[in-house]
Amino acid sequence: MDKKTMIEQAYELAKAQYAALGVDTDAVVAGMDEVQISLHCWQTDDVGGFETPDAELGGGGIQVTGNHPGKAKSLEQMRADLDKVLSLLPGKQRLNLHAIYGDFGGEVVDRDQIEVKHFQSWIDWAKERGMGLDFNPTCFSHPMADSGFTLSSKDPKVRNFWIEHVKRCRAISAEMGKQLGTPCVMNTWIPDGSKDEPIDRNGHRAILKDALDEALGTPYPKEHLIDAVESKLFGIGAEAMTVGSHDFYLGYAIKNNKAICLDSGHFHLTESVGDKISSCLQFVDDVLLHISRPIRWDSDHVVTLNDEVRLIASEIVRNNYLPRVKIGLDFFDGSINRVGAYVVGTRAAQQAFMQAMLEPTKNLVKLEEEGKYFERLAYLELLKTRAFGAVWDYYCLQNNVPADEAFITEIQQYENEVLLKR
User: Within a domain: residue 191?
Assistant: yes
Which residues lie across from 242 on neighbouring strands? 193
Q: Considering Cα of 89, then 94, then 97, then 103, what sign does the dihedral take?
A: positive
Domain's final residue, options 311, 334, 357: 357
Residue span of the structural domain in which 413 resides? 1-23+360-422
* Catalytic position from the list 71, 224, 266, 276: 266
Q: Is residue 68 annotated as a catalytic residue, yes or no?
A: no
Q: What does the pLDDT look like over 283-329, one tens digit per residue?
A: 999 999 999 999 988 888 999 999 999 999 999 999 999 999 999 99
pLDDT band at 61 (very low <50, low <70, confident <90, very high): low
Query: 192 and 65, same structural domain?
Result: yes
Residues 122 and 244 in one domain: yes
Task: Point out the catalytic residue in the list 81, 134, 230, 359.
Answer: 230
324 and 400 part of one domain: no
Helix (H) or strand (E) holding 282: none
Q: Catalytic: 298?
A: yes
Query: Are 231 and 351 contained in the same domain?
Result: yes
Q: What CATH number does residue 218 fall under?
A: 3.20.20.150
Residues 193, 73, single domain; the answer is yes
Known catalytic membership, residue 26: no
Do 6 and 42 share a structural domain?
A: no
Catalytic residue among 134, 300, 393, 410: 300
Indicate the pTM of the whole model: 0.96
Q: How many CB atoms lie within 10 A of CB 81?
A: 23
Residues 137, 166: Cα–Cα separation, whole Å: 6
C-alpha to C-alpha distance for 386 and 134, rounded to whole angstroms: 36
88 and 109: one domain? yes
Domain co-membership, 266 together with 373: no
* Residues 62-99 pLDDT 10s: 778 899 999 999 999 999 999 999 999 999 999 999 99
Q: Active site residue: 81, 192, 330, 333, which one?
A: 330
| Same domain for 403 and 304 | no
Task: Decide if 247 is catalytic.
Answer: no
Residue of 40, 98, 165, 232 with catalytic role: 232
Residue 105 lies in a domain: yes
The answer to whether residues 47 and 155 belong to one domain is yes
Residue 232, helix vs strand vs coil: coil
How many alpha carbons lie under 13 Å from residue 347 in its C-beta half-sphere?
Answer: 24
* Catalytic annotation present for 330: yes
**Where among 315, 331, 357 does a domain terminate?**
357
Which residue in 263, 286, 359, 393 is the catalytic one?
263
Catalytic-residue membership of 81: no
Show which of 332, 357, 382 is a domain's final residue: 357
Q: How sure is the predictor about 348, in pLDDT bands with cuts at 50, 70 and 90?
A: very high
To the query of whether residue 232 is one of the catalytic residues in this protein, the response is yes
335 and 407 within one domain: no
Q: What is the CA radius of gyration of the chain?
A: 22
What is the number of structural domains in the chain?
2
Which residues 6+ apart lie within 8 Å of 327 measured at CB?
35, 36, 37, 38, 289, 291, 349
Catalytic residue among 46, 81, 175, 298: 298
Catalytic pick from 42, 290, 315, 415?
290
Same domain, 231 and 143: yes
